[in-house]
Amino acid sequence: MGVLIRGFGILLFLSACGVEEGQLGAPAGTNLPRERPGLVAGETEIAPDPTEELATPPTSRVPCEVGRCWLNAPEIRGACPDRPLGEDFSSGKYNVHRYPYVAPAGTSVEVTLEVTAGQWQPILIVADAADGITLFDGEVGLSGGAVQLETGATGRTGSLASVLVTAATETRLDLYVTSWETVDSGFTAALATEARYTLSTSAGCPPPTEICPMDPQSIDRLASGFFTAAESSDPLAPNYSPYKRDDRDSHSGYDLHAPMGIPVLATQDGVIVSATTVDASDCGRSVTLEIPSGVRFRYCHLDQVLVTSGEVVAGQVIGLNGATGNAHVSHVHFVYLESPALADTSSGEVKSRKVNQYIDDLCR
Protein backbone atom coordinates (compact mmCIF):
# COMPACT_ATOMS: atom_id res chain seq x y z
CA MET A 1 0.00 0.00 0.00
CA GLY A 2 1.47 3.27 -0.97
CA VAL A 3 1.06 6.60 0.68
CA LEU A 4 -2.24 8.18 -0.13
CA ILE A 5 -1.92 11.89 -0.46
CA ARG A 6 -5.17 13.75 -0.35
CA GLY A 7 -5.32 17.05 -2.06
CA PHE A 8 -6.26 19.84 0.18
CA GLY A 9 -9.71 21.16 -0.31
CA ILE A 10 -11.38 18.47 -2.36
CA LEU A 11 -14.45 20.65 -2.82
CA LEU A 12 -12.24 23.39 -4.18
CA PHE A 13 -10.54 20.87 -6.42
CA LEU A 14 -13.81 19.70 -7.90
CA SER A 15 -15.10 23.19 -8.42
CA ALA A 16 -11.87 24.20 -10.10
CA CYS A 17 -10.48 21.28 -12.02
CA GLY A 18 -13.70 19.48 -12.67
CA VAL A 19 -15.56 22.33 -14.23
CA GLU A 20 -14.00 21.92 -17.64
CA GLU A 21 -14.87 18.26 -17.98
CA GLY A 22 -17.74 18.73 -20.41
CA GLN A 23 -15.66 20.75 -22.79
CA LEU A 24 -13.13 18.03 -23.28
CA GLY A 25 -13.18 14.95 -25.38
CA ALA A 26 -11.09 15.64 -28.44
CA PRO A 27 -9.65 12.27 -29.41
CA ALA A 28 -5.94 11.96 -28.96
CA GLY A 29 -4.01 12.53 -32.13
CA THR A 30 -6.55 14.68 -33.94
CA ASN A 31 -6.47 18.44 -34.04
CA LEU A 32 -4.94 18.65 -30.66
CA PRO A 33 -5.26 22.05 -29.10
CA ARG A 34 -1.91 23.64 -28.46
CA GLU A 35 -0.90 25.55 -25.44
CA ARG A 36 -0.21 28.66 -27.45
CA PRO A 37 -1.57 32.14 -27.02
CA GLY A 38 -4.54 32.78 -29.21
CA LEU A 39 -4.94 29.23 -30.40
CA VAL A 40 -6.94 27.63 -27.64
CA ALA A 41 -10.58 28.49 -27.26
CA GLY A 42 -12.15 28.26 -23.88
CA GLU A 43 -9.00 27.62 -21.91
CA THR A 44 -9.35 28.29 -18.25
CA GLU A 45 -6.63 29.38 -15.93
CA ILE A 46 -6.91 28.57 -12.27
CA ALA A 47 -4.69 31.02 -10.45
CA PRO A 48 -3.72 30.58 -6.84
CA ASP A 49 -5.94 32.45 -4.46
CA PRO A 50 -3.76 33.85 -1.67
CA THR A 51 -6.79 34.36 0.57
CA GLU A 52 -7.87 30.72 0.39
CA GLU A 53 -7.70 28.82 3.64
CA LEU A 54 -5.62 25.76 2.91
CA ALA A 55 -6.18 22.58 4.88
CA THR A 56 -2.73 21.20 4.20
CA PRO A 57 0.63 22.73 3.39
CA PRO A 58 1.24 23.68 -0.25
CA THR A 59 3.44 20.67 -0.76
CA SER A 60 0.40 18.76 -1.96
CA ARG A 61 0.77 17.54 -5.50
CA VAL A 62 -2.81 17.96 -6.48
CA PRO A 63 -1.78 20.81 -8.67
CA CYS A 64 -4.73 22.73 -9.96
CA GLU A 65 -5.56 24.33 -6.66
CA VAL A 66 -2.28 26.17 -6.46
CA GLY A 67 -0.59 25.83 -9.82
CA ARG A 68 -1.45 27.63 -12.99
CA CYS A 69 -3.31 24.81 -14.63
CA TRP A 70 -4.07 24.35 -18.32
CA LEU A 71 -7.40 22.56 -18.24
CA ASN A 72 -8.23 22.43 -21.90
CA ALA A 73 -5.76 19.70 -22.78
CA PRO A 74 -7.29 16.91 -24.89
CA GLU A 75 -8.70 13.81 -23.36
CA ILE A 76 -6.56 10.71 -23.62
CA ARG A 77 -8.42 7.47 -24.03
CA GLY A 78 -5.53 5.04 -24.12
CA ALA A 79 -6.46 4.59 -27.72
CA CYS A 80 -4.75 2.08 -29.94
CA PRO A 81 -2.55 2.45 -31.79
CA ASP A 82 -0.62 4.47 -29.32
CA ARG A 83 0.15 7.92 -30.65
CA PRO A 84 2.40 10.09 -28.52
CA LEU A 85 0.90 13.47 -27.91
CA GLY A 86 3.29 16.41 -28.22
CA GLU A 87 2.79 19.55 -26.17
CA ASP A 88 4.78 22.42 -24.72
CA PHE A 89 4.67 25.20 -22.18
CA SER A 90 5.27 27.87 -24.79
CA SER A 91 2.55 30.27 -23.69
CA GLY A 92 4.24 30.91 -20.37
CA LYS A 93 0.80 31.08 -18.75
CA TYR A 94 0.72 27.66 -17.15
CA ASN A 95 2.98 25.45 -15.12
CA VAL A 96 0.70 22.40 -15.02
CA HIS A 97 -1.15 20.62 -17.82
CA ARG A 98 -4.07 18.40 -16.94
CA TYR A 99 -5.20 15.56 -19.22
CA PRO A 100 -8.41 13.66 -18.56
CA TYR A 101 -7.62 10.01 -19.10
CA VAL A 102 -9.90 7.00 -19.34
CA ALA A 103 -8.04 3.94 -18.08
CA PRO A 104 -9.36 0.88 -19.91
CA ALA A 105 -10.79 -2.01 -17.93
CA GLY A 106 -8.87 -5.14 -17.17
CA THR A 107 -5.52 -4.15 -18.55
CA SER A 108 -2.29 -2.41 -17.63
CA VAL A 109 -1.21 0.71 -19.44
CA GLU A 110 2.10 2.45 -19.01
CA VAL A 111 1.78 6.21 -19.18
CA THR A 112 5.03 7.91 -20.11
CA LEU A 113 6.03 11.55 -20.02
CA GLU A 114 9.22 12.38 -21.90
CA VAL A 115 11.05 15.68 -22.07
CA THR A 116 11.80 16.60 -25.66
CA ALA A 117 13.12 20.14 -25.19
CA GLY A 118 14.35 22.30 -22.34
CA GLN A 119 16.09 21.40 -19.12
CA TRP A 120 13.53 20.22 -16.58
CA GLN A 121 12.70 17.16 -14.53
CA PRO A 122 9.34 15.73 -15.58
CA ILE A 123 6.76 14.49 -13.12
CA LEU A 124 3.49 12.74 -13.76
CA ILE A 125 0.79 13.00 -11.12
CA VAL A 126 -2.37 10.90 -11.32
CA ALA A 127 -5.62 11.64 -9.52
CA ASP A 128 -9.05 10.07 -9.49
CA ALA A 129 -11.18 12.33 -11.67
CA ALA A 130 -14.29 11.68 -9.59
CA ASP A 131 -13.04 12.67 -6.16
CA GLY A 132 -9.72 14.36 -6.85
CA ILE A 133 -7.77 11.99 -4.64
CA THR A 134 -4.16 11.68 -5.67
CA LEU A 135 -3.43 8.11 -6.65
CA PHE A 136 0.17 8.67 -7.75
CA ASP A 137 2.22 11.59 -6.54
CA GLY A 138 5.13 11.10 -8.89
CA GLU A 139 6.97 8.76 -6.59
CA VAL A 140 4.48 6.61 -4.70
CA GLY A 141 1.43 4.94 -6.16
CA LEU A 142 -1.71 3.72 -4.47
CA SER A 143 -2.31 0.00 -4.66
CA GLY A 144 -5.55 -1.84 -4.08
CA GLY A 145 -9.09 -1.04 -5.00
CA ALA A 146 -10.20 -0.69 -8.57
CA VAL A 147 -7.03 1.04 -9.76
CA GLN A 148 -3.42 0.25 -9.09
CA LEU A 149 -0.60 2.66 -9.78
CA GLU A 150 2.97 1.42 -9.89
CA THR A 151 5.94 3.68 -10.18
CA GLY A 152 8.05 3.46 -13.29
CA ALA A 153 10.54 6.30 -13.67
CA THR A 154 10.10 9.20 -11.24
CA GLY A 155 11.68 11.79 -13.53
CA ARG A 156 13.98 13.04 -10.76
CA THR A 157 16.86 11.92 -12.92
CA GLY A 158 16.71 11.56 -16.66
CA SER A 159 14.10 12.81 -19.06
CA LEU A 160 11.36 10.21 -18.46
CA ALA A 161 8.59 9.87 -15.93
CA SER A 162 6.24 6.91 -16.09
CA VAL A 163 3.57 5.08 -14.17
CA LEU A 164 1.84 1.76 -14.76
CA VAL A 165 -1.94 2.08 -14.45
CA THR A 166 -3.97 -1.08 -13.92
CA ALA A 167 -7.72 -0.61 -13.73
CA ALA A 168 -10.21 -3.38 -12.93
CA THR A 169 -13.02 -1.34 -14.44
CA GLU A 170 -12.94 1.61 -16.80
CA THR A 171 -11.81 4.50 -14.66
CA ARG A 172 -11.64 8.21 -15.29
CA LEU A 173 -8.38 9.71 -14.12
CA ASP A 174 -6.65 13.05 -14.37
CA LEU A 175 -3.02 13.09 -15.48
CA TYR A 176 -0.99 16.11 -14.52
CA VAL A 177 2.18 17.05 -16.37
CA THR A 178 4.57 19.42 -14.67
CA SER A 179 8.16 19.62 -13.45
CA TRP A 180 9.73 18.61 -10.18
CA GLU A 181 11.05 22.14 -9.91
CA THR A 182 7.45 23.36 -10.00
CA VAL A 183 6.29 20.79 -7.45
CA ASP A 184 9.18 21.54 -5.13
CA SER A 185 8.35 25.24 -5.24
CA GLY A 186 4.78 24.60 -4.15
CA PHE A 187 3.59 25.16 -7.72
CA THR A 188 4.84 28.70 -7.89
CA ALA A 189 7.84 28.14 -10.20
CA ALA A 190 7.23 28.50 -13.90
CA LEU A 191 8.39 26.12 -16.59
CA ALA A 192 10.60 27.58 -19.27
CA THR A 193 8.67 28.41 -22.41
CA GLU A 194 10.98 26.17 -24.41
CA ALA A 195 9.91 23.15 -22.36
CA ARG A 196 8.41 20.49 -24.59
CA TYR A 197 7.32 16.95 -23.99
CA THR A 198 5.46 13.95 -25.29
CA LEU A 199 2.83 12.05 -23.35
CA SER A 200 2.04 8.53 -24.43
CA THR A 201 0.22 5.43 -23.33
CA SER A 202 1.35 1.96 -24.22
CA ALA A 203 0.45 -1.63 -23.61
CA GLY A 204 -3.15 -2.59 -23.33
CA CYS A 205 -3.37 -2.52 -27.10
CA PRO A 206 -4.26 -5.81 -28.75
CA PRO A 207 -1.57 -6.96 -31.15
CA PRO A 208 -2.25 -5.77 -34.68
CA THR A 209 -3.71 -8.29 -37.10
CA GLU A 210 -2.42 -6.52 -40.21
CA ILE A 211 0.61 -4.31 -40.40
CA CYS A 212 2.77 -2.65 -43.02
CA PRO A 213 5.68 -4.80 -44.28
CA MET A 214 8.05 -2.21 -42.80
CA ASP A 215 7.88 0.42 -40.12
CA PRO A 216 6.13 3.18 -42.09
CA GLN A 217 8.51 5.74 -40.63
CA SER A 218 11.40 3.92 -42.30
CA ILE A 219 9.85 4.04 -45.75
CA ASP A 220 11.41 6.63 -48.02
CA ARG A 221 8.96 6.21 -50.87
CA LEU A 222 6.09 4.02 -51.96
CA ALA A 223 5.74 3.25 -55.65
CA SER A 224 2.32 1.85 -56.40
CA GLY A 225 1.75 -1.41 -58.10
CA PHE A 226 0.40 -0.83 -61.56
CA PHE A 227 1.91 1.22 -64.25
CA THR A 228 3.04 0.70 -67.78
CA ALA A 229 6.61 0.61 -68.93
CA ALA A 230 6.11 4.00 -70.56
CA GLU A 231 4.77 5.52 -67.37
CA SER A 232 7.48 4.06 -65.24
CA SER A 233 10.24 5.34 -67.50
CA ASP A 234 9.04 8.94 -67.47
CA PRO A 235 10.82 10.71 -64.60
CA LEU A 236 7.99 13.23 -64.35
CA ALA A 237 5.24 10.61 -64.08
CA PRO A 238 3.86 9.75 -60.64
CA ASN A 239 4.75 6.11 -61.15
CA TYR A 240 8.28 6.73 -62.30
CA SER A 241 10.46 3.84 -61.23
CA PRO A 242 14.18 3.82 -61.87
CA TYR A 243 14.17 0.23 -60.69
CA LYS A 244 12.10 -1.28 -63.46
CA ARG A 245 14.54 -2.79 -65.93
CA ASP A 246 12.46 -5.18 -67.97
CA ASP A 247 10.13 -4.98 -70.93
CA ARG A 248 6.92 -6.08 -69.29
CA ASP A 249 3.91 -3.85 -69.64
CA SER A 250 3.11 -3.67 -65.99
CA HIS A 251 4.74 -3.80 -62.63
CA SER A 252 2.59 -6.09 -60.57
CA GLY A 253 4.07 -5.51 -57.16
CA TYR A 254 4.33 -2.61 -54.80
CA ASP A 255 7.79 -1.16 -54.19
CA LEU A 256 8.54 -0.02 -50.67
CA HIS A 257 11.78 1.93 -50.77
CA ALA A 258 13.66 2.01 -47.49
CA PRO A 259 17.21 1.82 -46.19
CA MET A 260 19.23 -1.34 -46.61
CA GLY A 261 18.95 -3.78 -43.75
CA ILE A 262 15.82 -2.55 -42.00
CA PRO A 263 13.50 -5.28 -40.74
CA VAL A 264 10.89 -6.65 -43.12
CA LEU A 265 7.76 -7.88 -41.37
CA ALA A 266 5.02 -10.44 -41.83
CA THR A 267 1.92 -8.36 -42.59
CA GLN A 268 -0.45 -10.95 -41.11
CA ASP A 269 -0.40 -14.23 -39.22
CA GLY A 270 0.35 -17.07 -41.61
CA VAL A 271 2.80 -19.67 -42.81
CA ILE A 272 6.02 -19.21 -44.76
CA VAL A 273 5.37 -21.49 -47.73
CA SER A 274 8.53 -20.82 -49.67
CA ALA A 275 11.78 -18.96 -49.32
CA THR A 276 14.68 -18.35 -51.67
CA THR A 277 17.97 -17.76 -49.94
CA VAL A 278 20.09 -17.57 -53.08
CA ASP A 279 20.23 -14.48 -55.25
CA ALA A 280 19.57 -16.08 -58.63
CA SER A 281 16.39 -14.56 -60.09
CA ASP A 282 14.67 -11.21 -60.68
CA CYS A 283 13.04 -11.56 -57.29
CA GLY A 284 16.38 -12.15 -55.60
CA ARG A 285 16.24 -13.50 -52.08
CA SER A 286 12.59 -13.80 -51.20
CA VAL A 287 9.94 -15.09 -48.84
CA THR A 288 6.35 -16.09 -49.60
CA LEU A 289 3.81 -15.86 -46.80
CA GLU A 290 0.39 -17.55 -47.00
CA ILE A 291 -2.41 -16.27 -44.78
CA PRO A 292 -5.41 -18.40 -43.70
CA SER A 293 -7.60 -17.11 -46.55
CA GLY A 294 -5.12 -18.62 -49.02
CA VAL A 295 -3.83 -15.28 -50.26
CA ARG A 296 -0.06 -15.22 -50.56
CA PHE A 297 2.35 -12.34 -50.24
CA ARG A 298 5.78 -12.47 -51.80
CA TYR A 299 8.61 -10.27 -50.61
CA CYS A 300 11.38 -9.80 -53.19
CA HIS A 301 14.89 -8.28 -53.14
CA LEU A 302 15.62 -9.13 -49.50
CA ASP A 303 19.19 -8.80 -48.36
CA GLN A 304 18.68 -11.63 -45.89
CA VAL A 305 15.91 -14.17 -45.40
CA LEU A 306 15.42 -14.82 -41.70
CA VAL A 307 12.46 -17.24 -41.75
CA THR A 308 12.33 -20.02 -44.33
CA SER A 309 9.35 -22.08 -43.13
CA GLY A 310 6.69 -22.45 -40.48
CA GLU A 311 4.18 -20.20 -38.80
CA VAL A 312 4.74 -16.50 -38.29
CA VAL A 313 2.70 -13.81 -36.60
CA ALA A 314 1.88 -10.34 -37.83
CA GLY A 315 4.83 -8.08 -37.17
CA GLN A 316 7.40 -10.85 -36.98
CA VAL A 317 10.68 -10.02 -38.70
CA ILE A 318 11.04 -12.38 -41.65
CA GLY A 319 13.92 -10.75 -43.49
CA LEU A 320 16.02 -7.65 -44.01
CA ASN A 321 15.53 -5.08 -46.72
CA GLY A 322 17.93 -5.37 -49.63
CA ALA A 323 18.57 -5.00 -53.35
CA THR A 324 19.03 -8.56 -54.56
CA GLY A 325 17.68 -9.73 -57.89
CA ASN A 326 16.54 -7.09 -60.37
CA ALA A 327 16.93 -4.17 -58.01
CA HIS A 328 19.44 -1.38 -58.02
CA VAL A 329 18.43 0.34 -54.82
CA SER A 330 17.23 -1.26 -51.60
CA HIS A 331 13.49 -1.86 -51.58
CA VAL A 332 10.94 -4.61 -51.11
CA HIS A 333 8.88 -5.58 -54.13
CA PHE A 334 5.71 -6.80 -52.43
CA VAL A 335 3.42 -9.05 -54.47
CA TYR A 336 -0.17 -9.97 -53.69
CA LEU A 337 -1.13 -13.39 -55.06
CA GLU A 338 -4.70 -14.65 -55.03
CA SER A 339 -5.41 -18.22 -54.04
CA PRO A 340 -4.25 -20.64 -55.26
CA ALA A 341 -1.25 -18.43 -55.35
CA LEU A 342 1.01 -20.28 -57.73
CA ALA A 343 -1.77 -20.71 -60.27
CA ASP A 344 -2.95 -17.11 -60.10
CA THR A 345 -3.97 -16.22 -63.63
CA SER A 346 -5.47 -12.80 -62.94
CA SER A 347 -4.00 -10.00 -64.97
CA GLY A 348 -1.14 -7.88 -63.80
CA GLU A 349 -3.52 -4.97 -63.49
CA VAL A 350 -5.94 -6.88 -61.26
CA LYS A 351 -3.10 -8.03 -59.03
CA SER A 352 -1.73 -4.55 -58.93
CA ARG A 353 -4.97 -2.95 -57.89
CA LYS A 354 -5.21 -5.39 -55.01
CA VAL A 355 -1.68 -4.84 -53.84
CA ASN A 356 -2.11 -1.09 -54.13
CA GLN A 357 -5.15 -1.17 -51.89
CA TYR A 358 -3.53 -3.53 -49.44
CA ILE A 359 -0.33 -1.55 -48.98
CA ASP A 360 -2.04 1.83 -49.08
CA ASP A 361 -4.30 0.74 -46.22
CA LEU A 362 -1.44 -0.54 -44.11
CA CYS A 363 1.40 1.85 -44.77
CA ARG A 364 0.11 5.31 -45.58
Residues that bind Zn ion (CB under 5 A): 253, 255, 333
- For Zn ion, the closer CB: 282 or 338: 282
| Ramachandran sector of residue 229 (left: φ over 0; alpha: ψ -120 to 50; beta: rest) | alpha
Phi, psi of 76, deg, nearest 5: -110, 130
Q: How many CB atoms lie within 10 A of CB 156?
A: 12
Phi, psi of 330, deg, nearest 5: -65, 125
Least CB distance from residue 117 to Zn ion, whole Å? 40
Least CB distance from residue 322 to Zn ion, whole Å? 13
Amino acid identity for residue 176 in this structure: Y
Residue 138 DSSP label: S
Phi, psi of 80, deg, nearest 5: -110, 140
Question: By the 8 A CB rule, do 307 and 290 touch?
Answer: no
- For Zn ion, the closer CB: 134 or 286: 286
Least CB distance from residue 226 to Zn ion, whole Å? 11
Query: What does the alpha-carbon distance between residue 133 and residue 337 come to, in Å, rounded to a whole number?
Result: 57
- For Zn ion, the closer CB: 333 or 354: 333
- For Zn ion, the closer CB: 137 or 255: 255
Chain residue at closest Cβ approach to Zn ion: 333
- For Zn ion, the closer CB: 122 or 213: 213
Least CB distance from residue 349 to Zn ion, whole Å? 15
- For Zn ion, the closer CB: 61 or 251: 251
- For Zn ion, the closer CB: 173 or 341: 341
Question: By the 8 A CB rule, do 276 and 319 touch?
Answer: no
Least CB distance from residue 255 to Zn ion, whole Å? 4
46's CB contacts (< 8 A; 6+ apart) are 16, 17, 64, 65, 67, 68, 69, 71
Least CB distance from residue 278 to Zn ion, whole Å? 19
Q: How many CB atoms lie within 10 A of CB 303?
A: 18
Least CB distance from residue 68 to Zn ion, whole Å? 56
DSSP-based helix, strand, coil % in the chain, nearest 5: 15, 30, 55
